[in-house]
Amino acid sequence: MLHDATPDLAARLAAGPITGYAGFDPTADSLGVGGLMPVMGLAWLQRLGGKPLVVVGGGTGLIGDPSGKRMERPMMPDEVIRANAAAIQTQLSQFLDFGAGATGAKMLNNADWLAPVGLLEFLRDTGKHFTVNYMLQKEAVKSRMDTGISYTEFSYMLVQAYDFAHLAATQHCELQLGGSDQWGNITAGIELAARRDGRKLHGLVMPLLTTASGTKFGKTETGNVWLDPAKTSPYAFHQFWLQTEDVDAESMLKCMTFLKLAEIAAVMAQHALDPGGRAAQRRLADDVTTRVHGADAVRRATDAARILFGGDDVRDADAATLAVVAGEVPATEISRHDLDSGIPIADALQRSGLATSKAEARRGLAGAGFSVNGVVANESRVVTTADLLGDGVVLLRKGKRSWAALRVHREG
């Protein structure tokens, strides 16, 4: 998990517990899995006796961090940032213990101390400690010189430096954690605390994860993988981790779980005996999904996958699992009146999109290629209200893996 650290951090950690922080700009109302590395860093810090501080960037979020960005992000209204910050705080409580005590995590919003600072005060107490030449050498700034960088984003480094120095003075915070793209901002904070306050601070950054294929970790064809179940369903979340490539599985187990190294070695040994069984990916998916969404979500996701990919009988599934299955396949709304009257199977298949025409549907039916709720259908089959499962759906399947749902339209 380590990409780089200040040279004397190891000696400081050996001396006893430390308070550390990581910042999260509330540019969305959910964390994505691509940003979990600093979260796990804070979680390990807490487990090993340190005190984690979570700083939600209600103030810095108004500016926007240029690190890793080719273009300036649009400004976000203050009320949106505060709503996003509240949502992120809830999600972080799944990883950190915010209870009382020496190691209890603490949530802070940097708007509380940044908003009252006047411009002249900031320039006098912070800006004078940095030269423009120093700031131009930082990668976040250098990478934007061709496309241009506004004064607002240029000054972001100083604002984050102010955060670190402020937390050192008010929270006894000595360590900042972040992704490797935050190194310049972190070292600026270390410089400010040393020059202005005479404090010794430390930094630790973690790698920005990519997959073996070179894609950014946490990205799929449909976009970001979110912790919010309304944005990424628990089933899709579980599937994301299950689809981890073999060469990435061990490092993901080490970075994204709290399993002991000996246990990870045992899982990898089991995986090596039967790579097709995907023991490493299953352990990874179960562990992370349980932490984020709970054990019941893992069970439902696993049961739903056995129906969608493994051939389990959908009629044996409970209502919760049926809801997961129906939510993960293309759905077409139908009226209760149509079901009462009965829908010929060829019509149902065409309406669902599993067949492009009634003629194609009839050819497939003749070859036993379609099923209704897991039961092979013939051309005389009629879909009726008797076929409704769970929360008012009928599940159609083409072959072994192509599914669609007919969902009864709810009035009002």
Residue 83 is predicted with a pLDDT of 86
In the 8-state DSSP scheme, what is residue 308?
Answer: H
Residue 113 is predicted with a pLDDT of 93
How many angstroms separate the CA atoms of 66 and 181, rounded?
A: 10
Q: Which domains does the chain have, with CATH numbers?
A: 4-206 (3.40.50.620), 219-293 (1.10.240.10), 329-408 (3.10.290.10)
DSSP of 72-101, one letter per residue?
PPPP--HHHHHHHHHHHHHHHTTTS---SS
Q: What stretches of 172-228 show up as alpha helix (H) in DSSP? A: 183-192
Residue 56 is predicted with a pLDDT of 87
Measured CA to CA in angstroms, residue 212 lies from 71, 81, 248 at distances of 27, 34, 7
In the 8-state DSSP scheme, what is residue 195?
Answer: I
Residue 230 is predicted with a pLDDT of 93
Say if pTM beats, i.e. exceeds, 0.95: no
Three-state SS for 134?
A: helix
Residue 157 is predicted with a pLDDT of 87
How many angstroms separate the CA atoms of 378 and 355, rounded?
A: 14
Strand segments, DSSP code E, in 10-91 are 19-24, 51-56
Check residue 405 and give left, alpha or beta (phi > 0: left; psi -120 to 50: alpha).
beta
What average pLDDT values come out for the chain (412 residues) when binned by 10 residues?
95 96 88 92 96 88 58 64 84 90 91 91 90 79 78 85 96 96 92 95 92 73 86 95 94 95 97 95 97 95 91 84 91 91 95 94 94 93 92 90 89 52
The set of residues, in sequence order, having a beta carbon less than 8 Å from that of 358 and lying 6+ positions away, is: 346, 347, 350
Residue 412 is predicted with a pLDDT of 43
Tell me which amino acid residue 231 is.
K
Long-range contacts of 371-378 (CB under 8 A, 24+ apart): 371/396, 371/397, 372/345, 372/348, 372/396, 373/314, 373/315, 374/307, 374/313, 374/314, 374/315, 375/315, 377/345, 378/345
